[in-house]
A and B are shown apart, each in its own frame.
Chain A
Amino acid sequence: MSKIIEGLLYSESHEWVKVEGGIAVIGVSDFAQSEMGDITYVDLPSEGDSFEAGEEFGALESVKASSELYCPVSGEVVEVNTELEASPEKVNEDAYGAWIIKVRLSDPAELESLMDAAAYAAIAK
């Protein structure tokens, strides 16, 4: 069973969002990392890039396959977890600790379209 944390919001494409003030911290769910297997590379965007909700912002690469990352909310990237460049395996080890980007929310109302833990549990299997 993969872990789902209460209090986070989830997208259908298996990203999680933690809201801290006007900033969305974004990563991928434990379910997503376990489906991918050993993650060997994280393709990260740059600080200052802007994404629309649902837009591709990067990718995770496992040994076998690549899996695109989709930004669950619109906004500008204010911080990138560059530690993942050297240590992509951190996403496997702790999917909820290994955040990928922080985005300044341009439309906080978009958060309402994301799932809570209970709703996500229904699709993450």
Chain B
Amino acid sequence: MDQELKTTCLHEEHVALGAKMSPFAGFDMPIQYSGIIDEHNAVRKAVGMFDVSHMGEIIIDGPDAQSFVNHIFTNDVTALEPGCILYGMMCYQDGGVVDDLLVYKEFESGYLLVVNAANIDKDFEWIKQQADGYEVEIFNDSDSWGQIALQGPGAEDELVRYFGLEELRELEFYTFYDLEDEDGGRIIVSRTGYTGEDGFEIYADGEIIRDMWEALLEDGVKPCGLGCRDTLRFEAGLPLYGDELSAEISPVMAGFSMFCKFDKPEFIGKDALLKQKTEGVARKLVGIELKDNAIPRAGYPVELEDGTQVGVVTTGYHSITLDKSLCFALVDSTHAALGTPLFVRIRKRVFPGEVVKKRFYKTNYKK
């Protein structure tokens, strides 16, 4: 099995830093370096960087690129200007989620879709299958790109120092610049991230990414692993495909229907999602705060006081920033209202809690 694992352009740096490595989405990835709590706090209070080179990049170009992206994507790219980015989902006809992704509207032409590492092959095949009747070219460009996520309140200063470009401060949330290194290598810098803090994601080929990683490391930016990437996104109320969104968990169930534009003439899954939105769904994703420090984990049952199971935990942690035991759970809609008392079964005991807003942590995006 191990020899089949892919590695990113920064693999040697992780090993040299003594990171704990683990397979993730087919890649041998760093889970932590100094420790999840230390890395998590660095991103909340200062600045940290993540190797996210495993993420997939799929390019869609051609005369029908705009209408095709609008066909497969729940959000609306009609008015998306070059240099701007939208978050949304690709859904099946029944409203289940193929993947959640970012769509970058390129300056020249076409769109760059940034998808989850675990879904690259599935997404690419699915996208191609939807293209009948559209004049588009679809490339899986994932192997050409490395990516660093530079995140935290200190990210802007670090980015400006590294590139020597004050203009980077002007970059707005969910927009990007196209830069070139001295050899003409393309560098995309976007003001995006998956932590709830201000931050940037930088895409370039492996060599540029390695140079940048080393320079940022030398400058004192803390390397952060996938361990704290998950604790950070969780606190910020952001979903992880496979846990909070999946073929079984639609954007409406997960509470992300604001990323589904029902005023578009059509998109795959529109009818099913619109039906869910108007008629209601059987299960909804909620946040639960426990009154104890016991930690709810994915798969643990959510119950009523009388022991009836009404749901299941999808992600849970003792929140590092908020010092509370919190989880996302998929529960019967009749028990999903804010303030509803719910109980989580943790090993042999049951712990009381209540439904709270999923965005546990007040995010600090620069808008």
Interface residues, chain A, CB within 8 Å of chain B?
Answer: 37-38, 40-41, 43, 56, 59, 61-66, 68, 85
Which listed residue, B36, B40, B317, B347, touches A43 by the CB 8 Å rule?
B347
Q: Are B37 and A59 closer than 8 Å at their CB atoms? A: no
CB distance from B33 to the nearest CB of A (A): 11
Q: Which B residue sits closest to A40, measured CB to CB?
A: B318
Q: With contacts A59-B347, A61-B318 known, is A66 near B297, CB below 8 A?
A: yes
Q: Are A38 and B318 closer than 8 Å at their CB atoms? A: no
B35 CB-CB contact with A under 8 Å: yes
B93 CB-CB contact with A under 8 Å: no
B32 CB-CB contact with A under 8 Å: yes
- 9 further interface pairs, Cβ-Cβ under 8 Å (given A40-B318, A65-B297): A37-B32, A40-B293, A41-B295, A43-B346, A56-B347, A62-B36, A64-B227, A64-B230, A68-B347
Q: Which B residue sits closest to A42, measured CB to CB?
A: B293
CB distance from B45 to the nearest CB of A (A): 17
Q: Are A64 and B36 closer than 8 Å at their CB atoms? A: yes
Which listed residue, A38, A41, A68, touches B293 by the CB 8 Å rule?
A41
Q: Are B347 and A38 closer than 8 Å at their CB atoms? A: no
Q: With contacts A37-B35, A38-B37 known, is A63 near B294, CB below 8 A?
A: no
Q: B2-44, CB under 8 A of A: which get 1 and which 0?
A: 0000000000000000001000000000011001110010000
Total number of B residues with any Cβ neighbor in A under 8 Å: 19
Contacts of A43 in B (CB 8 A): 294, 346-347
Q: Are B293 and A63 closer than 8 Å at their CB atoms? A: no
A64 to B295, CA, bound (A): 10
Tell me the interface secondary structure of chain B in the complex: mixed
CB distance from B280 to the nearest CB of A (A): 35
Contacts of A64 in B (CB 8 A): 31, 36, 227, 230
Q: Are A37 and B36 closer than 8 Å at their CB atoms? A: yes
A95 to B137, CA, bound (A): 58
| Chain B positions 251-299 with a Cβ under 8 Å from a chain A Cβ | 293-295, 297
Q: Are A63 and B347 closer than 8 Å at their CB atoms? A: no
Q: Are B318 and A41 closer than 8 Å at their CB atoms? A: yes
Q: Are A61 and B295 closer than 8 Å at their CB atoms? A: yes
Q: Are A63 and B318 closer than 8 Å at their CB atoms? A: yes
B320 CB-CB contact with A under 8 Å: yes
Q: Are A41 and B294 closer than 8 Å at their CB atoms? A: yes
Q: Which B residue sits closest to A38, measured CB to CB?
A: B37
Q: Which B residue sits closest to A62, measured CB to CB?
A: B36
A41 to B318, CA, bound (A): 8
A119 to B227, CA, bound (A): 33
A85 to B293, CA, bound (A): 9
Contacts of B20 in A (CB 8 A): 37
A38 to B41, CA, bound (A): 13
Q: Are B227 and A63 closer than 8 Å at their CB atoms? A: yes
Q: Which B residue sits closest to A85, measured CB to CB?
A: B293
Contacts of A66 in B (CB 8 A): 295, 297, 347
Q: Are A63 and B297 closer than 8 Å at their CB atoms? A: no
CB distance from A69 to the nearest CB of B (A): 11
CB distance from A97 to the nearest CB of B (A): 20
Contacts of B295 in A (CB 8 A): 40-41, 61, 66
A20 to B320, CA, bound (A): 38
